Amino acid sequence: MHFHLDSLWHAEEGAMEFALTNCGSTPVTNPRLVYATLTRCLRPSKCTGARLVRRQANFHEYASDEGFVLAPGETWRFTEHSLTRPALHSNEGPKSAGVLLEDDTLVLAFAGDLQASVVEGCATAAQNAALTCGVLPEPKRVAISNWAETAPVHLALQSDDAAVMQLVSRVSELTRRLHPLAPTPFVLTAKEDVALLCITPDQTLPADGYRIIWDEGKTTLHHGSGQGLFYGLVSLAQMLTHAHAEPQRYGVPLSGEIEDAPRHGWRGAHLDVSRQFYPLDQVLRYVDIMAWHKMNRFHWHLTDDEGWRLEIKAYPQLTETAAHTGMDLPVLPQLGPDMTGQSGFYTQDEARQVVKHAAQFGIEVMPEIDVPGHCACVLGALPDLVDPEEPESYWSVQGFANNALNPAIEGSYTFAETVLAEVCEIFPFEVVHVGGDEVAEGAWMQSPKAQAMMRETGLKDTPELQAYFLRHIQTYLAGLGRKLGGWEEVAHGGGLDPEHSLLFAWTTIEKTAELAQEGYDVISTPGQAYYLDMALSDAWYAPGASWAGFTPLDKTYAFEADNGDPALQGRLKGVQACVWSEHLTTMARRNHMIFPRLSAIAEAGWSAAENKAYDRFKSLAELMPSL
Ligand code: ACM
C-alpha cells in the first residue's frame, strides 16, 4: 500500500485543500486521514468533502463519507475552511500523514509540501549560454534549445496509473530525504497553472533507458520497460533540485530533449559493515544515495574477522558472540570507535527491509558472507569448527591467526551451507558473494586434518584446498539457483566454473582483463581507483589507507575500466565502488572519504567515456548528498 497526500493553500478563501491518492493496488473503504500540522483547524470545523473526527493540538483526523471507497489511482479531496491562521510557507501543511483503515491499522502516507496559492517559480539565468541540466551521471545525449526563465517548483503528474503514481511519489519522498531544503519535485494533484508531466511507455527504448521531451514547458517522459521510468524521474528530480539550489548554473528546459540509457549493467557500491557497524538507518540512507546516482547493485559486506552482522537462526552464537568485540570476548576490541569494543548486527527482518527499500529503486542487494578466510569471529564463536591439533601457524594480512574455515572439517561445509540457505531466503538476488579473498599463505598446512585430506585427495596446497571448498559451495549455490560471487582469489588453485561465477577484480588495474581472459565475468573495482578507503592524498593528515597508493578525486574520475582490451568484450559486466571501513571511524571521515568519489564511480558506470568532463562533474558533485 502506498498513499500520497498533496495539500494546497487557497489564500483568497483562507482554506486548505487535501488530496489523498491511493497509489496501491487495493481499494480502501471508509479511509480516515490523519495528519499533523501547525495550521490547525478551528472548531467547529467547516469542511467540505470530509468530517473532522478528532483534533488534539496539531493532530487531525478526518473521515470520508460513510461507504466511500478510495480505489487505486483515485484521489479523495476535501477542503477545510476553518483554520487558526493563514499559511505563509510550504512547511505549514501536513508534516506527516497516514491513513487509518477500517480496522484501525495505520498506513503511513507521504505528505508533500503545501502548495502555494499563486504558483511561484525559481528565476534562473535562462539567458546564460552555459546553463546546464544538472543531471549526474551525465546523460547520453542532451539537446536543449531554450531554458525556462522560471524553473517550475514542481511538476504535476498527469496519469491515472496507480503504479506510476506510486513511483513518482516515491521519488518525491527520496528527494525529500536527500534534499530536505528543496521543494519536493512532483505532485499528483495541483492547481491548473502548474507545469505538467506526462508519462509514456516506449518499447523501442532500452529497458533502463528514457527520453524526456520538453515542448514549450510541457514535459513528457518516455521510458523503457525496465527501470527507465525511475531513472527518468530521478533526472527530473535532480534537475529541479539543482536549479533551485544554483539557478545561475542549472536550469530546466523549455524545449529540448534528453535521451539516456546506462553504459554498464552493474553499477555497484559496496559497504563493509563489519569493521565499523553502520546502524540500519545509515544503510538505508546509503541505498537512497545509490538510487539518486542511478546505481543498481548494493554489495553488502556483512561478515569479516572483526564482526558478524547478520542474524542466522541456526547459529545464535554468531549474533550472541561473533557480532561483538570486547575485552572478554574471542575477538578483542579492534577497529571500532573505542576500547570497549563494538557490537551490532541486523536481524533478518531488518535485512529484508533493506532488500525491500532497495527494490523500489531497482537496486539488487548482493550479500557477502566472507569464507573461508576472514572468519576470526566465526571460529571464536564456534570452536567446534577448529582443528584442535592445528598450532597457531598462519596469520592473515590483517594479523589474525588461523582465521580461515578449514576445508578438512566437515562442519565447515555444514556451516557454510546452513548459513547460505538462510541468506538465500532473505536475499532474492541471483548472485551471492562468498568472499574467497586473502586466505593467508600456508593456511591449514599444519592442520593434521588438512594434511590427511591432502594425502587422500592429492590436493597439494592452500589454494587447491580453498578451490576445493569453494567448488563445493558453488555447487550448493547452483542447486539453489544462485551464482557464486567472489573476489579475484576465487580463481586461484584451479578456479571455479566460470558459468556460475561473477568475480570482483581488486588488487590491480590489470586484474579485470586477466580474469576476463580466463573466461570469468568480471566487475572492475581496482584498489588503485575505486577503493574509497584509500587516502585522497599523501599528506600526513589525509585519513585513509595507502596500500594501493593515494587516490584523489580526479584519479578516480579519470579511471576507465574498459581500456579497449578485447578480452573484456562481453565479460566486463560493470564497475563498483568499495567502501572498506577500517579507517572510517566517524561520520565525518565516512563523508570525507566516500563523497564525491562515489559520484565519480556512478558516472563511470552510467555515462559514455566521451561524455565524461571533470570540471562539469566536479561542480555538480558538490550538490550530491552524503550520509
Ligand atoms: C579485499 O579488499 N580484501 C577484497
Q: Average pLDDT of each block of 10 consecutive residues along the chain (627 residues)?
A: 97 97 98 97 96 97 97 98 96 97 97 89 82 97 94 94 98 98 95 89 98 93 98 98 95 96 98 98 98 98 98 98 97 94 98 98 98 98 98 98 98 98 98 98 98 98 98 98 98 96 98 98 98 98 97 98 96 98 97 98 98 97 98
pLDDT given for residue 216 in this prediction: 83
pLDDT given for residue 117 in this prediction: 84
d(CA 198, CA 196): 7
End-to-end CA distance of the chain: 28
Q: How far is CA 62 from CA 20, 46, 169, in A?
A: 11, 12, 22
Ligand 1 geometric centre to CA of 180 (Å): 35
Residue with CA nearest ligand 1 atom 3: 437
d(CA 356, CA 368): 18
| Domains identified in the chain, total number | 3
| Of the residues 68, 91, 115, the one at which a domain ends | 115
pLDDT given for residue 120 in this prediction: 75
pLDDT given for residue 124 in this prediction: 85
d(CA 537, CA 583): 15
Report the CATH number at residue 90: 2.60.40.290
Ligand 1 geometric centre to CA of 587 (Å): 22
pLDDT given for residue 193 in this prediction: 75
Ligand 1 geometric centre to CA of 18 (Å): 52
Domain boundaries, position 77: 3-115
Residues 374 and 502 in one domain: yes
pLDDT given for residue 128 in this prediction: 78
Residues 468 and 583 in one domain: yes
- Which of 506, 531, 547, 579 maximizes ligand 1 atoms within 8 Å of its Cβ, making it the mutation to test the pocket? 506
| Of the residues 91, 115, 139, the one at which a domain ends | 115
pLDDT given for residue 479 in this prediction: 98
Residues 197 and 297 in one domain: no
| Of the residues 238, 260, 282, the one at which a domain ends | 260
Cβ contact 496:468 at 8 Å: no
Range list of H helices, 318-402: 348-359, 376-381
Ligand 1 geometric centre to CA of 542 (Å): 21
pLDDT given for residue 547 in this prediction: 97
Q: What is the pLDDT of residues 91-142, one digit of tens each?
A: 999 999 999 999 999 999 999 999 998 877 888 888 877 899 999 999 999 9
Atom of ligand 1 minimally distant from the CA of 580: 2
Residues 295 and 226 in one domain: no
Residues 289 and 204 in one domain: no
Range list of H helices, 497-586: 511-517, 527-530, 553-558
Ligand 1 geometric centre to CA of 168 (Å): 38
> Cα-Cα-Cα-Cα dihedral of 232, 238, 241, 242, to 10°?
-140
Residues 256 and 273 in one domain: no
Residues 367 and 464 in one domain: yes
Cβ contact 43:150 at 8 Å: no
Report the CATH number at residue 214: 3.30.379.10
Residues 248 and 133 in one domain: yes
Indicate if ligand 1 lies below 6 Å from the C-beta of 506. Answer: yes
Q: What is the pTM of this model?
A: 0.97
pLDDT given for residue 191 in this prediction: 82
pLDDT given for residue 374 in this prediction: 98
Residue 627 lies in a domain: no
d(CA 175, CA 438): 40
